[in-house]
A = this chain, B = another copy of it.
Amino acid sequence: MPDRDASLASVLRPTMTKLSRKHKLDDIQTPSVLVDIGCVRRNISRFQSYSNAHGLKVRPHIKTHKLPAIAEMQIAAGAVGITCQKVSEAQAMVSGSERISDVLITYNILGEAKLRALDALSRKVRLSVVADSQQVVDGLAGVFAAASEPLSVLVECNTGADRCGVSSPAEAAMLAKYISNSPGLHFGGLMTYPPIGGTARVQTFLADTKALIEAEGLAVPVVSSGGSPDMYSAHLAPVVTEYRPGTYVYNDRSLVLGGRCKWSDCALTVVTTVVSVPAPERAIIDAGSKILTTDLLELNGYGHVLGRPDITIDQLSEEHGRLRSSGAINLSVGQRLRIVPNHACAVANMVDTVIATGLNNGPEVWPVSARGKVI
């Protein structure tokens, strides 16, 4: 898999391309996160075409980019709405774009303040949420019983990731009925976040569940699955009506090494400076865990140095990354490198702004509006 050296060179070498606010690319201080918008558009378009061909709706998870502007690109390409994980994330996205009008929050919402925020959000956009227990449903009903429109609630099903979700079709059917009998709520369908390689299990679990629920006279309008690693196998689980890919918009080292894409499909990179070359086989960069994160995703090392497959990032402290080469490291102090991180979503969450490249009028600094929204 070739690095995209031409594109790399254009960032690492000073160019005349203007940053908004009169910055130039060579003025970028390191470490910074770059997002290649041309690459983003290609990634969006590729999966939208696949989904169109298979009659699958796309509802991208914005946890990867946290940027209203990119959500707008996904919607313009054909996405039916967006997915968020937390209420505060949804608030930030909805405030950031008038084109976001349909939001699924794939999380059990608990607690009075969050439920009130959910209620407020439901007056602005078409909103749906999930639940995997009666306690969560009861909390939602407590607030939405008084609402003018019922809230759509999907049942989260555990298809093997062993995170949240009911563990059997029978439990799912029971909870669906419970939702449909709760004041202010509407049973919206089924939702799962499967483990990698879980497509077959998604089909059997959700098809069985759907049949059970329909047998009781209840419609199952939406069956929602997600996960970038298996997104091009989504058609092998035909029960699924909508798909929630997240990482696909940027891609990352985990997806490249998993054989899901190429380095040239990676839209997010970290630009960094070599600050020390203290030994022939070792160099230190100014990107540490505060930008690359310590997410390993079962990989060896903390990222891929573009153009240097011989280098391993073998240790991170907060502000230092340590590079080791199998041979001579051949780097000099002050030299810039570009890194594809293990996990793009986590990196986007570390920075207040990213630098968007590949735009018609030159690079721009974009605030990551939904960064750090854990509430």
- List residues of chain A with CB under 8 Å of any chain B CB: 27, 29-32, 63, 85-86, 107-108, 110-111, 113-114, 132-133, 135-136, 139, 158, 162-167, 273, 275-279, 282, 284, 286-291, 293-296, 315, 317-320, 322, 332-334, 345-346, 349-352, 372, 374-375
Could you show 9 A-B contacts with beta carbons less than 8 Å apart?
A30-B111, A32-B375, A107-B275, A108-B276, A111-B273, A163-B322, A289-B293, A289-B346, A351-B372
A282: which B residues are within 8 A, CB to CB? 162
Known: A85-B318, A107-B275, A110-B273. 7 other contacts (CB 8 A): A29-B111, A107-B319, A163-B322, A290-B346, A290-B349, A291-B374, A319-B374
A333 nearest in chain B by CB position: B135
A108: which B residues are within 8 A, CB to CB? 275-276, 333
What separation, in Å, do the CA atoms of A322 and B165 have in the docked complex? Answer: 12
What separation, in Å, do the CA atoms of A322 and B346 have in the docked complex? Answer: 18
How many chain copies?
2
What separation, in Å, do the CA atoms of A135 and B273 have in the docked complex? Answer: 13
What separation, in Å, do the CA atoms of A162 and B279 have in the docked complex? Answer: 9
Instruction: Give min CB distance, A21 to chain B, whole Å.
Output: 14
Q: Contacts A277-B133, A372-B350 hold; do A27 and B164 have CB atoms under 8 A apart?
A: no
Out of B167, B286, B293, B372, name the residue touching A278 (CB < 8 Å): B167
A353 nearest in chain B by CB position: B372
What separation, in Å, do the CA atoms of A277 and B164 have in the docked complex? Answer: 8
A334 nearest in chain B by CB position: B110
A32: which B residues are within 8 A, CB to CB? 375
What separation, in Å, do the CA atoms of A316 and B312 have in the docked complex? Answer: 24
Q: Are A279 and B167 in contact (CB under 8 A)?
A: yes
* Residue of A29, A86, A291, A346 with highest tally of chain B CB at under 10 A: A29
A321 nearest in chain B by CB position: B163
What separation, in Å, do the CA atoms of A288 and B107 have in the docked complex? Answer: 13
What separation, in Å, do the CA atoms of A179 and B32 have in the docked complex? Answer: 30
